[in-house]
Amino acid sequence: MEVKINNSKLELVEGDITKQDTDAIVNAANSSLRGGGGVDGAIHRAGGPKILEECLQIGGCSTGEAVITTGGNLKARYVIHTVGPIYQDGCHREPELLASCYRNSLQLASQKGIKSLAFPSISTGAYGYPVADAAKVALSTIITYLKEHPEIESVRLVLFGHSTLTAYEQALKTLV
């Protein structure tokens, strides 16, 4: 599924984020930036040790914040690492922190002259955020940003598995 937000493209695809040819891909990292499981592990495996070296140099990242490294051996030139909230019950600032992940990643992209980027579904794996709720937060934050920032030409959400793609498609239909 693909929509236009002013002149920018927003697309939802099922796939593997490590294979994307966008200028940057976003990693759902943990606050230590030392690598981990899920999408984080996949990105470090595919990108090689250079990314971890740069992450260790940066030292860490708070929940809702984002930092940037090069893309190592990936097709993408950069990896933006952001730390999603661990879902408790939805009453511990989870929506606000998840929105910050997307917004801060997009801001970093704008600052670096990145025109295209790919996001995974942040927080919906090991961190337990219900996918339907996370999809609404992710998409509404991205849409708001793209309306104000035409310098970002394309945002792709790369969703792992058909049920995650379907959840994002349903959320997008209610927003555009």
Which parts of this chain interact with ligand ADP (CB under 6 A)? 16-18, 28, 38-40, 42, 84, 120-127, 158, 160, 164
The catalytic residue among 16, 23, 40, 133 is 40
Q: How far is the CB of 145 from ligand ADP (least distance, A)?
A: 20
Residues composing the chain: 176
Residue number, 106 or 125, with CB nearest to ligand ADP: 125
Residue number, 6 or 89, with CB nearest to ligand ADP: 89
Q: In this structure, are residues 83 and 64 in contact, taking their beta carbons and an 8 Å threshold?
A: yes
Q: How far is the CB of 158 from ligand ADP (least distance, A)?
A: 5
Active site annotation includes 133: no
Alpha-carbon span 154 to 113, nearest angstrom: 13
Q: In this structure, are residues 98 and 137 in contact, taking their beta carbons and an 8 Å threshold?
A: yes
The secondary structure of 62-126, three-state, reads CCCCEEEEECCCCCCCEEEEEECCCCCCCCCCHHHHHHHHHHHHHHHHHHHCCCEEEECCCCCCC
Report which of 29, 47, 49, 51 is spatially closest to residue 39, judged by C-alpha positions. 29
Q: How far is the CB of 25 from ligand ADP (least distance, A)?
A: 9
Residue number, 69 or 121, with CB nearest to ligand ADP: 121
Alpha-carbon span 35 to 58, nearest angstrom: 13
Residue number, 23 or 94, with CB nearest to ligand ADP: 94
Q: Which residues are catalytic?
A: 40
